[in-house]
Amino acid sequence: MDKRYQYECWLDLHQTEFQNSEFNCEMCFPIPKQTSESIERVNISWGKSIINEWIKLGYKPKPEPIPLGSGLPDSFVESWGPLNRRMNIINTEVKNNAPDASAEFQLKVQAIAIMKSIERIIG
């Protein structure tokens, strides 16, 4: 679909365990050194707007966005590298599979990310 529509931004919604963590959500950025400075600036601003909204509404996100880790398979870098260099991409991670992370909780946290992203797009 990207080939047809040439997207300008991509919000990737994920879940993770957050075992033994004080946090219940986080924002991740593309593989380091895969984006231009201008794309990185937008990713940071976009991601922080979501983090700030999560904090405002009482969720417990990691306070700063984190880059996707090193040691990723070459196939991952080869697949995502061209997209990361062309458009803004950020990833959410929301706690799941825990008594304090109900389906409703997960939906609300991701809905906030989606709503803040739409606000960013339409101004």
In this structure, which topology does domain 2-122 adopt according to CATH?
Aminopeptidase (3.40.630)
Ordered by start, the domain boundaries in the chain are 2-122
Sheet holding 9-16, edge to edge: 9-16, 88-95, 25-29, 66-67
- Model pLDDT for residues 101-115, shown as the tens digit of each residue: 999 999 999 999 999
pLDDT score of 70: 64
- Model pLDDT for residues 19-72, shown as the tens digit of each residue: 899 999 999 988 877 889 999 999 999 999 999 999 999 999 999 998 887 677
- Model pLDDT for residues 74-105, shown as the tens digit of each residue: 888 788 888 889 999 999 999 998 999 999 99
